[in-house]
Amino acid sequence: MFPEKVEIWNIRGTEYYEIALDALEQEIEKTKNSDEYTEISDENFKDVPIRNFPCIDKLFKVGIRNGRYYAAVATVLMCNKCGIFKDETKKHLTTLCKTFPGITQEETDTRINNALEMHGKEYHFSCTSIKETFPEHNLCNFLQCPIKEKIEETQPDLLYKQYLNEMENLVPDDDEDNRLEQVKDFVKDSNLLKLHEDEALEIVFKTCEKFKLKKKWEDNITKRYRRLKGEAAKQNRISNAGQKDESGNDVENELIKSLATQNGKGFLACETWINNNKLNIAKIQPEILAKKLSDPRSKKYTHNDFVLGIKEKFKLSIYETDEAYHKILSINTKYHSESKRLINILKRLQTYSLKARKAAEKLLLKGKPLPFIINTWKKSHVGDESVGKTLPVCAASAFITGNNAGLPLIIIGPSGKGKSDAVNDFFDLLPPSIALRTGFSDKYLYYSNDILPGSVSFLDDKDLTGAFKELAKNLQTNFQVPVEYRTVIDGEPRVLTAPERNVLISSSVEGIELLRPEGRRF
């Protein structure tokens, strides 16, 4: 029996008003939290093991005391979602029940039989229900959930499209200086920080291209974005997390504060301080470490104030100061070189669609990338299968740290049999920033900034000098660390370095003694 009319009560000013508001706020919060669970959660997950879902995996680990029936039903419904047959579902239930403290065999059989009645029925697993039934166990970890992956695969990134449309609607000014300011304002005001970094940088690069900005201004805009991102991260950072802001000035200030607390003297104390502050030393801007021209006539240089402060604090000699400086410079140069390499790779990745990048990421994480690479290479090259199988492994060795010594390759064979084509066709699959096809002198690696750590170089039937062969041996022997070369430039002693993890691939008709010291045979 229904009432003939609905009574409307005015509860404002009464104790029930606050109670009602609290209830409404709780329901609104529930609605917000449920936004992450869309109808995609009812899709078929036949290829996904149920323990891949964080909530189910944790359900099997925490030892449920209350709500055991629903724990068993949730397991059955997840088995339905993943297309698991009834016999296999029963095995999962048996495993689950063994985790229940104090349960008897009779109770186990009852739980299993009751829960199995839900198998194959038109019932669906509910993320919200399992969270609300077991709130004390904090079962949900949506960031690691296969449902999140499915959502990302099937739903467009609306934020990305929104900001891309905003960029496309911008009208570049005729004046280059004004165009630069337009791009700066867009990066600052368009909330790009809400996007994943690769998506945000893709829009930044496209904006710079549309506004026809010079390379130096593109780098300036990229730094501006990263600074804004660092500032935003600082605002949201947990106070006790101990993380540092990536802004160059802030990092320098942190180092100066750390330096002020040091009481030790001498090079060993200085070296300990450097080792304890490697991360901040790596992040400071290189210009902070640059030497200053003290006498233009004699072209003499001196250390900057930062390094001189270290010298004064630890009471270092001139020699010890130089040693400390080179150690600091090596840490910083390696970090920024690697950062530059990653940015170059990222720039190349931005030329592909978001869909293609996600498909590639899925292949790398869950597929079989090596057969895919080899089969792609075979589409442009016939034969030489052993070379095709070896080249990806050689290239991959450039990215492995630790005790890895790299895997150089010498391809020997008659002229005109496709040695060079085999390598060049494979290099077409590599990022241009790491694939070097042209020859270079034995000194070029020390002076160049365009050959980065983790590169693969192809020397095509070159007559190599004795100095280059020696360099190649040093690169192989010291694969994980930069190879040093000491020289004098403008009257100033300098230590130059060749980048680490540089894999050399060469082809030759007769074979070359590139990587084998005299008397050694492999």
For the stretch 54-84, pLDDT in tens is 999 999 988 888 888 889 999 999 998 888 9
- At 144-160, the pLDDT tens digits run 888 877 766 655 466 67
Rounded CA separation 153/267 (Å): 55
Residue type, 496: L
Mean per-residue pLDDT, 384-412: 81
Residue 442 clears pLDDT 80, i.e. is over it: no
Residue 23 clears pLDDT 60, i.e. is over it: yes
Contact 442, 465 (CB under 8 A): yes
Rounded alpha-carbon distances, angstroms, from residue 29 to 16, 17, 22, 24, 26: 20, 18, 11, 9, 5
Residue 483 has phi, psi (to 5 degrees) of -85, 125
Rounded CA separation 42/126 (Å): 9
DSSP label at residue 479: T
- At 203-238, the pLDDT tens digits run 888 888 888 888 888 888 888 888 877 776 655 543
Domain ranges within the chain, ordered by starting residue: 34-154, 158-233, 248-345, 368-508
- 368-508 has which CATH code? 3.40.50.300
Rounded CA separation 471/271 (Å): 29
Q: Which residue has the tokens 């009574």?
A: 7
In the three-class reduction of DSSP (H, G, I as helix; E, B as strand; rest coil), residue 376 is classed as: helix
Q: Which region among 289-293, 343-347, 516-520 has the lowest average model confidence (pLDDT)?
A: 516-520
Residue type, 17: Y
Nearest to 72, CA basis, from 143, 134, 150 = 134
Rounded CA separation 207/353 (Å): 16
pLDDT of the residue at 96: 93
Residue type, 476: Q
Antiparallel, parallel or unpaired: β 292-295 and 300-302 = antiparallel
**Which residues partner with 302 through β-bridges?**
292
Per-chain mean pLDDT for the chain: 78
- At 162-217, the pLDDT tens digits run 778 888 888 888 888 888 888 888 887 767 777 777 778 888 888 888 888 888 88
Predicted TM-score of the model (pTM): 0.40
Reported confidence tier of residue 461, pLDDT bands at 50, 70, 90: low
Name, in order, each residue with C-beta under 8 angstroms of 434's C-beta and a sequence gap of 6 or more. Answer: 341, 345, 395, 398, 452, 454, 455, 456
Nearest to 507, CA basis, from 475, 460, 465 = 460
**Which residues partner with 432 through β-bridges?**
none
Rounded CA separation 301/493 (Å): 10
Radius of gyration of the chain measured on its C-alpha atoms:
31
Tokens of 446: 């020390």
Reported confidence tier of residue 44, pLDDT bands at 50, 70, 90: low
Q: What is the 3-state secondary structure (H, E, C) of 284-299?
A: CCHHHHCCEEEECCCC
Contact 112, 30 (CB under 8 A): no
Rounded CA separation 245/231 (Å): 7
Rounded CA separation 373/357 (Å): 15
- Of the two residues 288 and 319, the one the predictor is more confident about is 319
Q: What percent of the chain has pLDDT over 90?
A: 8
Residue type, 411: I
Rounded CA separation 16/21 (Å): 9
Antiparallel, parallel or unpaired: β 456-460 and 503-508 = parallel
